[in-house]
Structure 1
Amino acid sequence: MALRIHSFFHQQSATLCYLVSCESTKQCLLIDAPADFDMPSGELSFITANEIISYIKTEQLTLQWLLETHAHADHITAASYIKQQLHDTHPCKLGTGEGITQVQQHFSQLYNLDMPCNGEPFDALFADKAQFQLGDYTVDVIATPGHTPDSVCFHIDGNVFVGDTFFMPDSGTARCDFPGGSAGELYDSLQRILAFPDDTVLWMCHDYQPDGRPLANKTTVKEQREQNIHLKGDKQSFITTREGRDATLAVPKLLHSSIQLNIRAGQYPSKTDTQQHYLAIPLTVLL
């Protein structure tokens, strides 16, 4: 029995996507798959997603799950596209944290979207400590709110896919200034991850390569505990550091585009009478 982890790096958004497979059963799951989006032209494409699909077919894997660690604000998910492309041979399920309903409620109002806020179209909404099987392995779900209310991590056989909680130690942790975010909650969530054994491998969702260093996508609990630049003090120190840092950060460039699609697992808005899909941008007028 062996667990295999293959990563794909999406340069446009500095996103790392993971295909995790059980070698004995050939069953696999995919975490945080990105689509390609050009904001100025409005062109949505699936170059990275098609590479992943090709890899799954070449390796003769059976995709069981398409998982999202949360509704991302920096890239558009390719989950629904991949599900549709593989539907005939891989009837996989979409899964995310149960907090997605709270995120749907907030952003459907912000963007004036006519949509259900019950978690659709996700097939599974995971509560904290939920479990499911991937071949011979058990996948444990860890609710990690703070960055967003719906954030979850996935633990599989000594590996934790941390979403936007930790970054590499030299980059610290994720921002907490999105709706429903909380630096205090993120600190508590980080402590849950740090409670795992020292040699537990933490797989990053993003790496922004500070100071031009080579790409890095994994670290350990021990390294995060000893080296993370945002975890040098107590909880209040972290909150002060995190909130101070967040106050200086710009709005993600793809925020409005990403959120409107990602709260629907990447499904498009309904076409208008002109047979065109549209996204909305709330206008803030400064006088």
Structure 2
Amino acid sequence: MDIDQPEVVGFFDRKTFSVQYVCIDPATDRCAIIDPVLDYDENAAHTRTDSADAIIAFISRRGLTVDWILDTHPHADHLSAAIYLQQRFDAPRAIGRQVVEVQKLWKDIYNFGDDFHADGRQWDRLFDDGDRFEIGRMQAGVMFSPGHTLASITYVVGDAAFVHDTLFMPDFGTARADFPGGDAATLYRSIQQILALPDDTRLFTGHDYMPGGREPRWQSTVAEQRANNPHLQNMNERAYVELRKRRDAELPLPALMLAALQINIRGGRLPTPEANGTAYLKIPLNAF
């Protein structure tokens, strides 16, 4: 049986080191947008749509039709542009079902009231592990890949897998696991599931931190990760957990985390403006 080979176009956001994707079925010119970024200037508390507008312009130039707007998990390092893009393309938004666990956790952290529903209703579809869906005529599948977060999933579309924070490029390593709900042992097991895909599976990561000052990159293969990723060499689960805990203890929290998560657990929807017409973020003091 022939394996679908989607065209994958990445859009790199240098501020947050994030990679957004358009995954295209060449046979139908239908596509999915994966992990889009809403630009945010934390100094001025101002949002912009430059990154999302670049995706819109690309889709328009190519004459593509958007079937899905997908997130791999609720992001801690950038705001999601999913709502903005849905308003433009009228495509369903989706994420993994375990997002409800992330919502429950962060609802308590933010002390959100009863008007915040931690049941995933903010999305059009919640994917379960093993679910199948279509992008054009291409078959796509969902792998539950927790560890970095409680809700992380991998989208597998033909010979392409969108792994976001689970695996970085082979010269950098793997995701942190110290956020609320994260777990290094669970992350190790999720990585092993991804590495069980065929060796030539193209892996598309959600961030690139450009080690050594090289240009940004975001595509590798299962074989390249096995051979070259420094966090995967001669590493059993116990050794990986020890490595991950040492590394995570040295990392600062993402600069946008407390702003981003209260937007992203709402599916990318900004807070409702108050009586004066201005929307406000809520930041928990001394919680971390």
Q: Same fold (TM over 0.5)?
A: yes
Residue 157 of structure 2 is matched in structure 1 by 156
Deviations 1:126-162 (A, max 9, x none): 1111110111211010000000011001011111010
- Is residue 2:94 matched to residue 1:121? no
Q: Distance in 1 between matches of 2:24 and 2:222?
A: 22
RMSD: 1.3
Residue 281 of structure 1 is matched in structure 2 by 283
2:5–2:159 CA contact under 8 A, matched in 1: no
The code of the aligned residue for 1:259 comes to L
Residue 97 of structure 1 is matched in structure 2 by 96
Uncovered stretches (5+) of structure 2, i.e. residues with no partner: none
Residue 260 of structure 1 is matched in structure 2 by 262
The code of the aligned residue for 1:151 comes to S
1:167–1:204 CA contact under 8 A, matched in 2: yes
Paired residue secondary structure (2:37): coil
Q: Distance in 1 between matches of 2:287 and 2:145?
A: 35
TM-score (norm 1): 0.95
Q: Distance in 1 between matches of 2:163 and 2:28?
A: 25
The code of the aligned residue for 2:255 comes to K
Q: Displacement of 1:85 after TM fit?
A: 2.2
Q: Distance in 1 between matches of 2:60 and 2:215?
A: 30
Larger CA deviation: 189-198 vs 271-280: 271-280
1:2–1:24 CA contact under 8 A, matched in 2: no
Residue 111 of structure 1 is matched in structure 2 by 110
Residue 178 of structure 1 is matched in structure 2 by 179
Q: Distance in 2 between matches of 1:257 and 1:2?
A: 37
- Is residue 2:195 matched to residue 1:194? yes
Residue 28 of structure 2 is matched in structure 1 by 25
Q: Distance in 2 between matches of 1:269 and 1:113?
A: 12
The code of the aligned residue for 1:253 comes to A
Q: Return closer, same or farther for 1:285/1:101 CA change in 2, 3 Å cut-off.
A: closer
Residue 35 of structure 1 is matched in structure 2 by 38
Deviations 1:50-89 (A, max 9, x none): 1111111121111110000000100101010111123xxx
Q: Displacement of 1:201 after TM fit?
A: 0.8
2:166–2:187 CA contact under 8 A, matched in 1: yes
1:149–1:181 CA contact under 8 A, matched in 2: yes
Q: Distance in 2 between matches of 1:10 and 1:120?
A: 28
- Is residue 2:49 matched to residue 1:46? yes
Uncovered stretches (5+) of structure 1, i.e. residues with no partner: none
Q: Distance in 2 between matches of 1:222 and 1:69?
A: 22
Q: Displacement of 1:5 after TM fit?
A: 1.2
TM-score (norm 2): 0.95
Aligned residues: 282
Q: Displacement of 1:220 after TM fit?
A: 0.7
- Is residue 2:77 matched to residue 1:68? no
Q: Distance in 2 between matches of 1:42 and 1:172?
A: 32
1:170–1:229 CA contact under 8 A, matched in 2: yes
Residue 238 of structure 1 is matched in structure 2 by 240
- Once the two structures are superposed, the pairs formed by residues 132-151 of structure 1 within 5 Å of their partners are 132-151=133-152
Stretches (4+) displaced over 2 A: none
